[in-house]
Amino acid sequence: MTRAWMRTVFDVQAIRQDFPILSRRVHGKPLVYLDSAATTQKPRAVIEALVHFYEHQNANIHRAIHTLGEEATAAYEETRAKVSRFINAPRPENIVFTRSATEALNLVASAWGRANVRQGDEIVLTQMEHHSNMVPWQRLAQEVKATVKYIGVTDEGTLDLSSLDDIITEKTKLVSVTQVSNAFGTINPLGKIIAAAHRRGALAVVDAAQSVPHMPVDVQAMDCDFLAFSGHKMLGPTGVGVLYARYELLEAMQPYQSGGEMISRVRLEGATWNDVPWKFEAGTPNIAGVIAFGAALDYLSALGMDNVRAHEQELTAYALGRLRRLEDIISYGPQDPSQRGGVVSFNYPDIHPHDVGTILDRQGVAIRGGHHCAQPLMRRFDIAGTARASFYIYNTLEEVDALVEGIEKARAFFSHDR
């Protein structure tokens, strides 16, 4: 793909002005931040929302009858409504705030899994899952003596669905799958997987940590039962996660944690629970973070998620084209940009990805090197890890060029060293 091919969907240079950190220099070089799959940078609107809360509204929520408490509660619950609209949930009460996508998945494994998965039942995952969508289910299976089965991965880095009906059976209670691989960027065919799960009477859980920030996601059209994602991967503060669940499931589930706020009434003899979703939000939450996350949702909504997706797809196509021209480099995942998110994962056969990342850092280019919390996927490809560049709304073609130039310097450095 040449630059003449590129299509501007929004003013990237204007967007970059909204992110104070992008004016930094690292090792004397302009910062090129290509690690948004780990966490995104924050626009000034989000930073200001945090400051505004602490300067003007700081109070606990759902408890106080004074003005500050009422304003804080209203702002917190407005973010819940924004999340609901953002993913097209039926209503705000489908949304539970957690600390992270990891906690959201653990909530499902604990509150739904322990009540419904029994000895002899099966849980179906994929080999490309992030550890957060693997270890909780492994632990649950060990506790109740259930079986974990895995959908395999092809040499192209896509899911092997050729035996899907043999993997998902009448014994399957739950299928949990990532929508977009954090390691390779592969976009998975959720429609086919969720339909197969429901045909067998199983529930479908979606790890959407790498999809909700990057493309339009409609939970009703997807027909999933649970969906988890993180605020910090979509311009929001750290410490905010989201669990979407069908309302009737939340009603039937017992609380994940106990204490204040999640109760309706407490007596010496016992307690009754608050309504959904508040019965899953024990204690004082990350109020400021959730409110600032609302500002992040406003920012992305103004850009349009179709435009976000188009911008990343163009950057990814350009990056893949440039990488293909480098000698000896290995790129992982589908080569068709329409089948992957804004992640490019690569290796040189004789250079550790940490070494590539170190050389790039000296050039001001921030990428991730390692197994990306996806060790089973790395073992599937017989590698220790990969170097991973991940793009977002503030990245440019020039930054892709800086990435490639840095890779070439890394190759030259280690070739000379030998």
The DSSP bridge partners found for residue 387 are 346, 369
- Please state the φ and ψ torsions of residue 351, each to the nearest 5 degrees: -130, 125
Q: What is the DSSP string of 198-262?
A: HHTT-EEEEE-TTTTTTS---HHHHT-SEEEEESGGGTS-SS-EEEEE-HHHHHHSPPSS-SSSS
Closest to 396 measured CA to CA, from 320, 343, 303, 318: 318
Count of alpha carbons within 13 angstroms of residue 352, beta-carbon side = 6
**What's the token pair of residue 25?**
């220099």
Task: Give me the amino acid identity at 280.
Answer: F
Distance CA 228, CA 206 (A): 6
Q: Is the separation of the CB atoms in 269 and 259 below 8 Å?
A: no
Q: Which residues pair with 365 in a beta bridge?
A: 32
Length of the chain: 418
* Helix or strand run (H / E) with residue 371: none
Q: Which residues fall within 8 angstroms of residue 80, CB to CB, at 6 or more apart?
A: 92, 95, 97, 277, 290
Rounded CA separation 153/133 (Å): 16
Percent of residues in the chain assigned helix, strand, coil, to nearest 5: 45, 20, 35
The Cα–Cα gap between 150 and 168 comes to 10
- The active-site residue out of 373, 383, 384, 397 is 373
Kindly compute the dihedral angle of the four CA atoms of residues 139, 143, 144, 150, in this order, to the nearest 10 degrees.
Answer: 20
Instruction: Please give the helix or strand (H or E) that residue 193 lies within, else none.
Output: helix 190-199
373 is catalytic: yes
Three-class DSSP category at 354: helix
- Residue 330 pairs in a beta bridge with 347
- Give the side-chain half-sphere CA count within 13 A for 129: 25
Catalytic residues: 373
